[in-house]
A and B are shown apart, each in its own frame.
Chain A
Amino acid sequence: MPVRCFTCGGLIGDKWEEFRSRVDGGEDAGKVLDSLGVTRYCCRRMLLSHLDILDEILEFSKKFTKGSR
């Protein structure tokens, strides 16, 4: 998750986990963003369009880090 918004530089990294879990819990993404205080559309798209690809990379790296480093 990017730490800051690419356009305005506002902090958005710390809102990702709450956003993700609440949206996964069935809440409306727009309303979650409103309640998190993410008002500008540049920052909103950061959270809306993000895919946590690191999870998949970790799945792959598991094979190589097992046991020893």
Chain B
Amino acid sequence: MEVKVLEAEGNSVRFILSQSSPAFANALRRIMISEVPCMAIEDVFFYENTSTLDDETIAHRLGLIPLTTDLDSYVLPEECECKSEMGCSRCRATATLEVEALDGRKTVYSGDLKFDDPHIRPVSDKIPIIKLEVNQKLKFEAYAKLGTGKKHAKWQPVAVAAYKYMPNIRINLKKCDACRVCVDACPKNILQVEKDVIVVVDPVSCTLCYECVKACPQDPSAVDVSWDDTTLIFNLESVGGLSAKQVLFKATEILKKKAEEVTKKLAVKGGKQT
């Protein structure tokens, strides 16, 4: 297996996974979406809420705010030694918020949340939570916990985790008369004419739409599009709580742990380890 990183900027990573299989890429993808833990607000205790939205609606909005996650300092509440419903300092971070609109309409932002742990904070301080009219007040305490996307989408650390097959575009030069029809038909502009010959400039961007094959006036078409399912182009974009790199590393770690568990259990059942 080989990995070649194409782009890595901010929260997104794009890489080519070669000499692999769709099954493996899909295992990674599914773990990233539903099993890599991240932080989100889970419990909210309202002390005062005279706003126009009810407690549940505000709590739901709070849950969706992506929080920076520190996977080394926190454990999943299910795996915590405290076994308490409310959690302890190992499995939760506390946030408080108190805003009252005194002179004029006021927007409450994610930045108004005050966390006890400085490592946990909203990814962006500009997410509007609610607007308050004069004299309306909002005061609550919230517990942020680790969780996985399996239980609720608010714990999903990635917005995009997807892969596609490596396209293979071949042009039959014996039949092709460089009429340019396929060049104009391609929605991703990956074909170009160089010295009266059609060349494929950027095969990675191809979406396998077959527009070039269909557009070719030759019969049968001079353009042939196929794919290689052992080479996968993986696209990953994190929501911001964990970086795309952290998500990828954590996902491989989880996959490894699962595989090890299977081997261990098989060894116990089979009696013999090879």
* B135 close to A54 (CB less than 8 A): no
Best-buried of B66, B125, B240 by chain A (most CB within 10 Å) = B66
CB of A45 within 8 A of chain B?
A: no
* Known pairs A3-B61, A11-B124; A65 contacts B110 (CB<8 A): no
Contacts of B50 in A (CB 8 A): 65, 69
CB of B94 within 8 A of chain A?
A: no
Per the CB 8 Å criterion, the residue count for chain B at the interface is 30
Contacts of A10 in B (CB 8 A): 159-160, 237, 239
Q: How many A-B residue pairs have CB under 8 A?
A: 71
Q: Give complex CA distance A62, B252 in Å.
A: 53
- Give chain B nearest CB distance to A12 CB in angstroms: 9
* A9 close to B65 (CB less than 8 A): no
* A9 close to B159 (CB less than 8 A): yes
Per the CB 8 Å criterion, the residue count for chain A at the interface is 24
* B239 close to A14 (CB less than 8 A): no
Residues of B within 8 A of A (CB): 50, 52-53, 61, 64-66, 105, 110, 123-128, 130-131, 133-137, 153, 156, 158-160, 237, 239-240
Residues of A within 8 A of B (CB): 1, 3-5, 8-11, 13-14, 16-17, 40, 54-55, 57-58, 61-62, 65-69
